[in-house]
Structure 1
Amino acid sequence: MLPVALAAVAVTAVLGPLPDPKPTYGGPPRPGAQQELTLSYVADAGFAMAVKLTCDPPGGGHPLPAQACATLAATGADPDRIKPGTGACILLYKPVTATLSGTWQGREVSWQHRFGNTCEMRRATGVLFRF
């Protein structure tokens, strides 16, 4: 088992980290289906945050559920389609991985992206990860 782990570390060291997986969207939407998502981010430094978000009606643990739902509706629940903000972020490398998963308009959705720090994450994703 140890040789396999060492080989994986060696490959990562040579090739660099693996790219973020592409977002996935399940089958065709089902009208009237619940829209329930989990938004989370995990930092390499060891802290993590997560909230549930429901839409129609907006709710869950997100502090701004109506705005987050409006953002998802405008982008088809694809955070890569959000127009990034223009605020400045400090050039401090403290990587975080943001994840969105659940059901949107009756389809299973899954998205993940690694950012250099939480400021970059929030600038790129707007209100979605402001919790």
Structure 2
Amino acid sequence: MLPLLLAAALIGPVPDPPPTYGAPPRPTTNEVTLSYQAAAGFAMAVKLTCDPPGGGHPQPVQACATLDEVDADPGRIKRASTACVLLYQPVTATVTGTWEGRTVNWTHRFGNTCDMRRATGVLFRF
């Protein structure tokens, strides 16, 4: 025991290591703009924020859940089996913003608004 005490006296006190807290938390603001524009010029757009759901979308909880299920890729949404009139009135839908820290930029052209809503669920129901 005496040799350990002598060794400790010669070395001196050992400082505690500095605390480590890990990487700073990365903000995960999920905020996108949903918009669509008809070839004839009609256009609509809303902001959608998630965590917590909000923004100008009339159904933000459902829209956020839809984006969460497909990792913010509307092209992965399962198409509804509703019928649409075969009237060609093209409309371009766009989703831009950030989701889980990455940039989202999705655009798709549909034959009409019914086809767009059938393919994207609640996202473009505003």
TM-score by length of 1: 0.76
Partner of residue 81, structure 1: 76
TM-align CA RMSD: 1.0
Higher relative contact order (CA 8 A, sep 6+): 1
Q: Displacement, 1:31?
A: 4.1
* Mapped partners of 2:88, 2:45: distance in 1: 21
SS in 2 for 1:69: helix
Counterpart pick for 1:119 among 108, 114, 123: 114
Q: Note if 1:46 corresponds to 2:41.
A: yes
Q: Note if 1:95 corresponds to 2:58.
A: no
* Mapped partners of 1:96, 1:62: distance in 2: 19
Q: Which runs of 4+ in 1 moved over 6 A?
A: none
Answer with 1 or 2: which has the greater Rg: 2
Counterpart pick for 2:54 among 59, 63, 74: 59
Q: Displacement, 1:32?
A: 3.2
User: In 2, are the aligned partners of 1:31 and 1:105 still within 8 Å (CA)?
Assistant: no
Q: Cα deviations across residues 44-97 of structure 1 (Å, max 9, x unaligned)?
A: 011000000000000000000000000000000000100000100000000000
TM-score by length of 2: 0.79
Partner of residue 23, structure 1: none
* Mapped partners of 2:88, 2:41: distance in 1: 14
User: In 2, are the aligned partners of 1:96 and 1:118 still within 8 Å (CA)?
Assistant: yes
Q: What letter matches 2:102 in structure 1? A: R
Aligned length: 102
Q: Note if 1:106 corresponds to 2:106.
A: no
* Mapped partners of 2:28, 2:78: distance in 1: 27
Partner of residue 6, structure 1: none
Structure 2: gaps of 5 or more residues: 1-24
User: In 2, are the aligned partners of 1:86 and 1:123 still within 8 Å (CA)?
Assistant: yes
